[in-house]
Amino acid sequence: MRTIQLGEVTIDRVVELSQGSLPTTAMLPEATAADIAKHHDWLAPHFLDPHTGDLRSSIHTYVVRTPQQTILIDTCIGNGKPRPERPQWHLRQGTFLEDLAALGVTPEAVDLVICTHLHVDHVGWNTRLVDGVWQPTFPRATYLFAGEEWEFWRSEHASRAEANACIGDSVWPVVAAGQVRLVDSDYIINDYLRFEPSPGHTPGHVCLRLTTGAGEAVFCGDLMHRPVQVAEPQWSSIFCVDPVQSRATRQAFVEQHADTDTLILAAHFPTPGRIVRHGGGFRFVPVL
């Protein structure tokens, strides 16, 4: 993704993994290969991998720089995290911090870290291992979580710590360090960014709306995992805590943003884009 300039704000992306670990039909259990193939005419070439025939996806962090702050949105998987249930993620050693530095951003330069929700692939780089202890990666940053989201996962971790290991190694350490601020799901962050509630995937999932004099963008987290969900918003992922609520939230989001100039930046789409109406339905048009 090239740098996106919206007025005085820039948006970049650091990609940790350039392909997701699950095929689309596993991620979206209500979808069949034949269902998805009906959309290949517009999914190709930008969203369709010609080698696998499946939809492209990635795991990445957005870097938003305003005149006052450097902000990270979602922090991927992380290095050295024990994830035996996901071999591709288990104890991985990637170049995330080096890639961040290539954008001119050091850990000390980050002012805010914002997690749209607290799933394992959105919190990993909140912490890094220093002398055998998980410590905040970004020592000056305030970490913003929706309060409802944190309360849900704190309870889940208390009852099933092993199943929610990412909370123990990637969330609790920044809470213990006093760097977390819990806010409402409609919290206004600054002159540019605000939370918008988007429950369903998780109870406190939020989108972030960026408003500038040159236009708007929405970082929509895991409201959608694959671009085909723009055309088929009724398909919820296997990771949605409340698939029915997720479906309703996604349908409303697609309707709201169709044929507007709002840039949509999802946590796993291979490129940003815009939602357009087409033939009585919707499509996602890439912005490269």
**pLDDT tens-place string over residues 39-81:** 999 999 999 998 889 999 999 999 999 999 999 999 999 999 9
Q: What is the mean pLDDT of residues 201-227?
A: 98
| Pairwise pLDDT comparison (224 vs 50), residue with the higher score | 224
pLDDT at 46: 95
Three-state SS at 176: helix
**pLDDT tens-place string over residues 123-154:** 999 999 999 999 999 999 999 999 999 999 99
**pLDDT tens-place string over residues 177-190:** 999 999 999 999 99
Closest CA to 116 of 14, 215, 185, 211: 185
pLDDT at 191: 96
Q: Is the pLDDT of residue 248 over 90?
A: yes
Copy the structure tokens of residue 5.
Answer: 């300039």
pLDDT at 277: 98
pLDDT at 195: 98
| Pairwise pLDDT comparison (174 vs 21), residue with the higher score | 174
DSSP one-letter string for 219-266: EEETS-SSTHHHH-TT---TT-SSHHHHHHHHHHHHHHHTTS--EEEE
Closest CA to 163 of 151, 123, 155: 155
Res. 163 pLDDT band, cuts 50 70 90: confident
pLDDT at 2: 92
Copy the structure tokens of residue 174.
Answer: 């920044």
Q: Is the pLDDT of residue 19 over 90?
A: no
pLDDT at 267: 98
CATH code, domain carrying 136 = 3.60.15.10
Q: Where are the alpha helices (DSSP H) in the chain?
A: 24-27, 33-37, 40-43, 96-102, 147-159, 165-170, 172-176, 228-231, 243-257
Residue 28 belongs to domain spanning: 4-286
Q: What is the mean pLDDT of residues 28-44?
A: 96
Q: Is the pLDDT of residue 20 over 90?
A: no
> Based on the structure, what is the number of domains in the chain?
1
Closest CA to 268 of 239, 232, 227, 234: 227
**pLDDT tens-place string over residues 70-126:** 999 999 999 999 999 999 999 999 999 999 999 999 999 999 999 999 999 999 999
pLDDT at 219: 98
Is the dihedral angle over the CA atoms 127, 208, 185, 237 positive or is it negative?
Answer: negative
| Pairwise pLDDT comparison (192 vs 52), residue with the higher score | 192
Q: Is the pLDDT of residue 11 over 90?
A: yes
Average pLDDT, the chain: 97
